[in-house]
Amino acid sequence: MTEPRSALVIDDERDIRELLVLTLGRMGLRVDTAATVASAREMLTREKYALCLTDMRLPDGSGIELVQEISSRHPNTPVAMITAFGNVEAAVEALKAGAFDFVSKPVDLTVLRDLVRHALMLGTHRQQIATSAGPRLQGDSPAMANLRQTIAKVARSQAPVYIVGESGVGKELTARSIHEQSARSAAPFVPVNCGAIPTELMESEFFGHRKGSFTGAHADKPGLFQAAEGGTLFLDEVAELPLSMQVKLLRAIQEKSVRPVGASSEVPVDVRILSATHKNLEKLVDEGRFRHDLYYRINVIELQVPPLRERRDDLPGLAGSILQRLAIPHGRTAPGLSRSAVDALAAYPFPGNVRELENILERAMAMADGDTIEADDLRLPARGEAAAASAAPAMPASPLAAEPPSLTDPRFDPRRIDPGDTAGSALPMYIEQMERAAIEKALQDHRYNKTKTAAALGITFRALRYKLKKLGID
């Protein structure tokens, strides 16, 4: 018969210890208790625990110090902090010290059971974490090796992670890697681009709604938080959230519950929050455009994803892997890169990072005559043009409303207009070409980042998506 796994509860309040012993015992755990830091240390030297729960304040020391000690000396033992209700600062401090998660007093038994289940799953998942460290994040450079090591560490925690990096570096891929190596890997990973949701629909999209709560609400609909239940919710471009939504998001994260639109009560949710943006959130906080308390809450662990120019040694292998993937849908053998093409890529600054590399290689595959891509097939921008694109100069408030090109403008093809047209179709066709030219230029200037392109054009993301479809721009 398998011996039950054991847990250590550290709290100087007897009532709390008894409650936790009873609850964990019903979950099949053998429970030891300690009332002081000293006795907890002694027990940790004698026994290997599957989980530790410690109070914030103990008679002979701080629970934070104990969390740091357990994380350092017993890295395979998840430790959770018991904090006073509403003490967000203490919870964040505990997570930064290495705590797996936290639970507030008075202890909500549903939240506690979820916490324990995740901690035990993490223990059984440990070997998979060790052997699957970032299989989808390619590269052997020191920068990537360091990133994978950090991902393996943060995957053991429930702490919110703030992923920082330039556009195109692979922030969503990094978030997926954290999820896949965590105890939540069997549950959903739900990514959401915060800049792509219309403001008036945000609350419904995030928290869901009840039937009849507004016009068009013909049935109950779960939100993104409910869709990610038990798993991970990835908030990409979190800087795009309006202040009104930031308040509601902060409450959902702190209370671990959401109120669907039209509902009379809150619904508990169990999700881990990962977020990312290419913007400087700290600067936005200083400017009053992003709430300081939300920034403090999502930025418990900050993870930097290196730009491609800082890991040039990875370029040949990364390019080869991308070409293999691009060739599969076409049923062809992946082309190779000539020496001149490799040298050209190595000299290029890649302001658009890995996403730009993918676009360049996809275009080169179409342009190459044989099974080898030459430097000319890459059609890399001149160094000055790349630097200008990297600087992303401001465009007119709305290029779609800017002065139209003249009839001699090379972007306007007069051959598409019938000189004998009397039905008035020439002008709409001219306007359509003008729109196309402005959109294509903005897409190129912003490395095909649609969120940034829409902002530069002075239109909404939704409007840009409509125009791309209408104009047939892929």
Mean pLDDT across 166-178: 92
Q: Does 166 have pLDDT greater than 50?
A: yes
Highest average pLDDT, of 18-32, 328-342, 374-388, 452-466, comes from 18-32
What fold does the segment set 6-128 form as a domain?
Rossmann fold (3.40.50)
Distance, CA of 456 to CA of 387 (rounded, Å): 18
Angle at 340 between CA 339 and CA 342, to 5 degrees: 65
Task: Tell me what pLDDT residue 207 has.
Answer: 94
Residue pLDDT, tens place only, 308-327 = 999 989 998 899 989 988 88
Q: Does 474 have pLDDT greater than 50?
A: yes
Q: Which amino acid is at 80?
A: A
Q: Does 199 have pLDDT greater than 70?
A: yes
Task: Tell me what pLDDT residue 326 has.
Answer: 87
Q: Does 128 have pLDDT greater than 50?
A: no
What fold does the segment set 308-386 form as a domain?
Helicase, Ruva Protein; domain 3 (1.10.8)
Contact assessment for residue 159 and residue 301, using Cβ atoms and an 8 Å cutoff: yes
Please, what is the average pLDDT of the chain?
82
The band of 83, judged by pLDDT with boundaries at 50, 70 and 90, is confident
Torsion-angle region of residue 183: left (phi > 0), alpha (psi -120 to 50) or beta?
alpha
Strands 267-268 and 257-258: antiparallel
Mean pLDDT across 230-237: 94
3-state secondary structure at position 255:
helix
Mean pLDDT across 206-231: 88
138-304 and 6-128 share a CATH fold: yes
Structure token digits, residue 107: 């202890």
Helix (H) or strand (E) holding 92: helix 88-97
Task: Tell me what pLDDT residue 430 has.
Answer: 57
Distance, CA of 39 to CA of 33 (rounded, Å): 9
Task: Tell me what pLDDT residue 353 has.
Answer: 92
The band of 345, judged by pLDDT with boundaries at 50, 70 and 90, is very high
Q: Does 133 have pLDDT greater than 90?
A: no
Task: Tell me what pLDDT residue 86 has.
Answer: 61
Task: Tell me what pLDDT residue 125 has.
Answer: 53
Query: Who wins on pLDDT, 456 or 166?
Result: 166
Distance, CA of 251 to CA of 256 (rounded, Å): 8
Query: Who wins on pLDDT, 360 or 86?
Result: 360
The residues, any chain, with a CB within 8 Å of residue 156's CB and separated by 6 or more, are 75, 78, 100, 122, 129, 182
Mean pLDDT across 102-129: 75
Q: By C-alpha distance, which of 237, 230, 236, 226 is closest to 204?
A: 226
Residue pLDDT, tens place only, 375-431 = 999 988 875 455 444 444 333 334 444 444 443 444 444 444 444 444 444 455 656
Q: By C-alpha distance, which of 172, 274, 269, 173 is closest to 227?
A: 269
Q: Which amino acid is at 166?
A: E
Q: CA 396 → CA 285, 386, 403, 450, 459, distances in Å? A: 26, 20, 10, 17, 12
3-state secondary structure at position 190:
strand
Distance, CA of 345 to CA of 157 (rounded, Å): 38
**CATH 3.40.50.300 is held by the domain 138-304:** yes
The residue ranges of every structural domain in the chain are: 6-128, 138-304, 308-386, 395-471
Contact assessment for residue 439 and residue 473, using Cβ atoms and an 8 Å cutoff: yes
CATH architecture of 395-471: Orthogonal Bundle (1.10)
Task: Tell me what pLDDT residue 231 has.
Answer: 93
The band of 89, judged by pLDDT with boundaries at 50, 70 and 90, is confident
Contacts of 121-126 with CB under 8 Å at 24 or more apart are 121/183, 121/184, 122/78, 122/156, 122/182, 122/183, 123/5, 123/50, 123/51, 123/76, 123/78, 125/182, 125/183, 125/185, 126/76
Distance, CA of 449 to CA of 440 (rounded, Å): 12
Handedness of CA 74, 149, 184, 135 (dihedral sign): negative
